[in-house]
Amino acid sequence: MKPAPFRYHRARDVEGATTLLAELGDEAKVIAGGQSLVAMMNFRLARPAHLVDIAGLRELDHLGVDADGGLRIGALTTHHTVETAPPDGLGPGFDVIREAMAWIGHLPIRTRGTVGGSIAHGDSTAEWCLLAVLLDAEIVARGPRGQRRVPAGEFFFGYYTTALDPDEILVEIVFPRPAPRAALTEFAERRGDFAVVAAAVDLDVEGSVRGGRVALGGVAAMPVRVPEAEAVLSSGGSFRDCAEAAAAAVEPPSDANGSTPYRRHLIRTLVQRACEEAMSR
């Protein structure tokens, strides 16, 4: 399959790319790793008249812990770079992020696909989107009107829809604090497929569980936190009760990948499993 005709533009810097995007308007799309966009173009689900290639912008390829202990990841960092980062590259307490990479597609996809591309694409089952919502990440976007930081909880609007303006580029994602007791797990039909349901938890533990965050992917148009399940954790309930509360709180869709009752069953299993994995760290 071949995409519809388009004009190719190679960006030299972020400012040049955003200026070009502003000039070209809705006709243009950014391309980074191309692992989602090219497939959509080949299926003619996307027909941009212009592609602005940002893959050469090395300033957006970085990974490191800042002085406040937050993890900053440049938009062009690949999934594989994160997966293989040395311990001092990711910093203590971010193992959940490194380990989640193994769930993303296959090695060739992880070596080309980027963190920024994943978040900008906004798939409701994507591991990066789920991690961002779970860990209160901030998404840094730059455009002709300057730079802004958007909390992950306000970034995803619906299926493949985000707060990014058409002339903005996602430049960085910031995870503000380590999450030493966090875990992500999921179920997919085959290894490397997108998840049918994904669950992630981040426990607050001081001797015993004092509370925590619970987030789900594949149950709504975007990844969601589940306050009802988090309330169970803060009131000293069991992981099983937490998982039951998560399954009862959401109304997952029914589609070719699974019915609503099947997805609820997965939620019960996966939330409990994620809690147990997080606790065992």
Residues engaged in binding ligand FAD (CB under 6 A): 29-37, 39, 54, 75, 103-105, 109, 113-114, 116-118, 120-121, 123, 126-128, 164, 169-170, 192, 194
Nearest-5° angle of CA 246, CA 248, CA 253?
90
Of 58 and 88, which has the nearer Cβ to ligand FAD?
58
Closer CB to ligand FAD, 124 or 230, in the complex: 124
Q: Pairing mode, if any, of strands 63-65 and 71-74? A: antiparallel
Report the nearest approach of ligand FAD to the CB of residue 78 (Å).
8
Q: Is 120 helix (H, G, I), strand (E, B) or coil?
A: helix
Nearer to ligand FAD, 45 or 254 (CB): 45
Q: What H or E segment, with its residue span, contains residue 211?
A: strand 208-217
Identify residue 73 by its one-letter amino acid code.
Answer: I
User: In terms of Cα–Cα distance, which of 57, 55, 77, 50 is closest to 13?
Assistant: 57
- Least CB distance from residue 246 to ligand FAD, whole Å? 21
Q: Using CA atoms, how far apart are residues 228 and 231, in angstroms rounded to an integer? A: 5
Burial pattern 207-238, b for ≥16 Cβ within 10 A else e, equals: eebebbbbbbbbbbebbbbbeebbebbeeeee
What does DSSP assign to residue 109?
A: H
Residue nearest to ligand FAD (CB): 113
Residue 3 and residue 278: Cα distance in Å, rounded? 43
**Could you tell me the two tokens for 276?**
């147990």
CB of 21 to ligand FAD, least distance (A): 9
Q: Give 101 or 232: the residue with its C-beta nearer to ligand FAD.
A: 101
> Does residue 279 contact residue 202 with C-beta atoms inside 8 Å?
no
Residue number with CB closer to ligand FAD (161 or 254): 161
Least Å distance, CB 218 to ligand FAD, is 11
Work out how close the CB of 117 gets to ligand FAD at its nearest, in angstroms, rounded to a whole number.
Answer: 2
State the nearest-atom distance from the C-beta of 62 to ligand FAD, in Å: 13
Q: How near is the Cβ of 93 to ligand FAD at its closest, in Å? A: 22
In angstroms, the first-to-last Cα distance of the chain is: 46
* Shortest distance in whole angstroms from residue 114 CB to ligand FAD: 3
**Residue 4 corresponds to which tokens in the numbers above?**
């519809």
The two structure tokens encoding residue 193: 């497929």
